[in-house]
Amino acid sequence: MRLPQIQIHSVQARIGIESKQGHYSIKQSQADVQIRSVDAVVNINSEPAVVLIDQSETWDALTGGKPIAFWNRIYNQSGKFVLDAINQTVRDYNQIGDILAEGNPIAAISKQSLSKKRPELQIYGPASPNNVSFQAVLTEPEIQTTRGYVDIQVQVNPPNIKYKRGYVNTFIKQRPSVEIVAPRFDEYL
């Protein structure tokens, strides 16, 4: 004979959890930037270069130059010719006065004086490639500067922050239960 048995069945509870994370929404518009620049200003004042040209020696060589320079040149040379003439006269008279000389000294001196060249006066200045002189006169430029600058203005816009909350849902997915089954006594009777 079998003994009656009680049967117990249990079912554990199951809890369900459903969640959704919260999230941020951050928006920020770009910063407003204003840039203003002022150019540097440079003022330069300069005089053109001047070239002084002296052509007086060239004109002396071509035309004799200005009258004062012309007559000074002749006058300065005439002293030399006068001294040469005096020296020649002294030599001539020494030759005439030489009693030991043979022949006729006066005729010889006269003959020499006929073939003698006239003194060569330098009426014009000397011809030379360096007769023109140049002199450059340079002036320093005056430089005035006004400094430029850059002005930067920045307006930062604050961020727009939004937060959407999340949630956690808990629920019973399966209820706990205990089932007790009693034996049927009628089977045993």
Q: Which residue segment(s) compose the domain that 43 sits in?
A: 30-55+131-157
Question: Residue 151: its pLDDT value, please?
Answer: 93
CA 14/CA 8 separation, integer angstroms: 19
Does some domain include residue 11? yes
Question: Residue 183: its pLDDT value, please?
Answer: 76
User: Can you spell out the DSSP letters for 45-95?
Assistant: E-PPPEEEEE-HHHHHHHH--SHHHHHHHHHHHHHHHHHHHHHHHHHHHHH
Under a CB-based contact definition with an 8 Å cutoff, are residues 153 and 34 in contact? yes
Does some domain include residue 6? yes
The pTM of the full predicted model, rounded to 2 decimals, is 0.34
Same-domain status, 49 and 75:
no
DSSP 109: H
Does some domain include residue 108? yes
Question: Residue 32: its pLDDT value, please?
Answer: 92
Closest CA to 88 of 119, 46, 44: 119
Same-domain status, 71 and 115:
yes
Same-domain status, 71 and 117:
yes
Same-domain status, 147 and 170:
no
Same-domain status, 117 and 72:
yes
Same-domain status, 88 and 1:
no
Under a CB-based contact definition with an 8 Å cutoff, are residues 13 and 172 in contact? yes
| pLDDT tens, residue order, the chain (189 aa) | 566 778 888 999 999 999 999 899 999 999 999 999 999 999 999 999 999 988 888 888 777 778 888 888 787 877 888 888 888 889 888 888 887 778 888 888 888 888 888 777 777 777 788 888 889 999 999 999 999 999 999 999 999 999 999 889 999 988 999 998 887 766 655
Same-domain status, 104 and 114:
yes
Does some domain include residue 50? yes
Question: Residue 91: its pLDDT value, please?
Answer: 87
Q: Give the angle 128-134-136 at the CA atoms, nearest 5°.
A: 170
Question: Residue 42: its pLDDT value, please?
Answer: 94
Strand partners, 174: 14
Same-domain status, 48 and 135:
yes
Does some domain include residue 51? yes
DSSP 177: E
Does some domain include residue 60? no
Same-domain status, 167 and 81:
no
Question: Residue 185: its pLDDT value, please?
Answer: 67
If you count them, how many residues does the chain have?
189
Question: Residue 64: its pLDDT value, please?
Answer: 77
CA 131/CA 62 separation, integer angstroms: 11
Same-domain status, 149 and 164:
no
Total domain count, the chain? 3
